[in-house]
Amino acid sequence: MALGLALSDDRVERLVALDSFGLGTELPRGRLSWAVAQVPALNRLSVALLRRSEGFRRASLEGLVADSATIGEDVHAAFAALLQRPDPGHAFRRWRAAEVTRSGYATTYVDLLPELQQPVLFLHGAADDVFPPAWSERAADLAPDGECVVLPDCGHWPPRERPDEVIERVAGFLGEA
């Protein structure tokens, strides 16, 4: 969303894109990602498994990070509690159903990146299995004033895994350090 806004609104002075969506179309698990997004029975099954299986919940959360130790029991408990709400993940599932197509993600800003007028920091975890770090590296090359920092030993959740480094990088880029 922030990239889309920066491309359409000159009030955005600087932008930090953190493990950003919209920089490529490839689905992380190909047809399986499409099927889970588009086949209602698979979607219901995945939610049912998340609700009932602690192992499946843990694997799902821990798949977002390079170091599972960064996800404490408080996060696991909060995730389990959220899954017990009526229709958990409704907004995400709606977004995913609209965004995931057989040929990949529908939204991509790649062709528009050369039009960015503001400095952009693409900050990405090296072990991100959701959106590959190569997307951010390519984006930084395409943006006229783009910079890419890939955090080693970090997955798709840098604020969880590397909070101090994320704060330092973002603050430095925004001129607050």
**1 vs 81, more confident:** 81
pLDDT, tens only, 20-73: 999 999 998 888 889 888 888 888 888 899 999 999 999 999 999 999 999 999
Q: How far apart are CA 83 and CA 34, in angstroms?
A: 22
**156 vs 9, more confident:** 156
pLDDT, tens only, 118-156: 999 999 999 999 999 999 999 999 999 999 999 999 999
- Cα-based torsion angle of the residue sequence 68, 132, 121, 61 in order, rounded to the nearest 10 degrees: -30
pLDDT at residue number 43: 82
Q: Which alpha helices (DSSP H) does the chain contain, by range? A: 2-8, 31-38, 40-52, 54-62, 73-83, 90-99, 133-142, 158-161, 163-174
Q: Which of 162, 146, 174, 124 is nearest to 18 (CA)?
A: 124
Q: How far apart are CA 150 and CA 92, in angstroms?
A: 26
Q: Is the pLDDT of residue 177 over 60?
A: no
Q: How far apart are CA 125 and CA 78, in angstroms?
A: 24
pTM to 2 decimals?
0.90
